[in-house]
Amino acid sequence: MLSKNIANFFSALSDETRIKIVALLFEQDLNVNQIRIKIGNIKLPLLSYQLKILQEQDIIRYKKIGRKKLFHLSDEHVSHILNDVIVHLSPEGPCNGELNCSDDSNLHMVIE
């Protein structure tokens, strides 16, 4: 059962748009319109679908402020996971191949 949950978690992160959403939410809490503006040309129904997938795996959550939903990462582990992948894929990066290196500033590279 745990292996299936892990597979579902990584499946939710297997889409470039969802990765960009997670990277944006690492920097700050955002509402749907703010996410849409920062990601670029994406239709609202598609964005809502992507957010739903991330919510189902507890990667992101939201809090209601008035009539708006403000999305945020569910916890710091999500940013660590994404950052570790960036470090893993970038041996020339800030860690220069060191094993136990973590620098959350790498997440800005995802959005670019």
**Domains by residue range for the chain, with CATH:** 2-111 (1.10.10.10)
The model carries a pTM of 0.82
Low-confidence ranges of the chain (pLDDT < 70): 91-112
What is the DSSP code (8-state) at residue 104? G
pLDDT for the residue 88: 81
Residue 89, pLDDT score = 83
pLDDT for residue 42? 92
